[in-house]
Amino acid sequence: MSRLEIRKAREDDLPKIEKLLEEASLPTLAVAEHLNNYRVAKNGDTVIGAIGLEVYDGTALLRSTVVSPNEQGKGIGTLLYDTIVKYAKGLGIRRLLLLTNTAEEYFRRRGFKVIDQQSITGPVTNSVEFTGACPSHAVCMELSL
């Protein structure tokens, strides 16, 4: 892992991000629209991880947290997460939300708390993750920044 780099996603990273998401059974819908708020982990020329935000005023939806299966468990997910949280704080985001079927414990360890999805109001509810890209039984979690 000598050439690991975390950087802002570029247009030409999109197909690889979508492939990683598909392989992890995570939604790809509307990633392109929010690519400006994505970060990627790269090992040389290869995209090995991603994470993104959908920004809605002071709230952002954290989505697309993914690391290539053969690169997991090396701290790359944590690096991506720390990078995006720092970025969110810089944007003035006060609250992160996420929906997950697979990583409740992962985010609980990072301070997120489970909340009732029905309690969420405002523009973030227009996100594709809320309008159907995530299964209705997905767990909704919140973190105040």
Ligand X SMILES: CC(C)(COP(=O)(O)OP(=O)(O)OC[C@H]1O[C@@H](n2cnc3c(N)ncnc32)[C@H](O)[C@@H]1OP(=O)(O)O)[C@@H](O)C(=O)NCCC(=O)NCCS
Closest approach, Cβ 139 to ligand X, in A, equals 9
Q: How far is the CB of 97 from ligand X (least distance, A)?
A: 11
Nearest-angstrom CA–CA distance, 17 and 64: 9
Question: Using the rule CB under 6 A, is 103 a contact of ligand X?
Answer: yes
87 vs 106 by CB, closer to ligand X:
106
Q: How far apart are CA 12 and CA 38, in angstroms?
A: 13
Could you give the CA distance from residue 134 to residue 116 in angstroms, rounded to a whole number? 15
| 46 lies in the binding site for ligand X (CB under 6 A) | no
Rounded Cα distance, 84 and 38, in Å:
8
* Under rule CB under 6 A, residue 72 binds ligand X: yes
Indicate the residue whose CB is closest to ligand X. Answer: 77
Residue with tokens 């690519």: 35
| Smallest distance from ligand X to CB 105, Å | 4
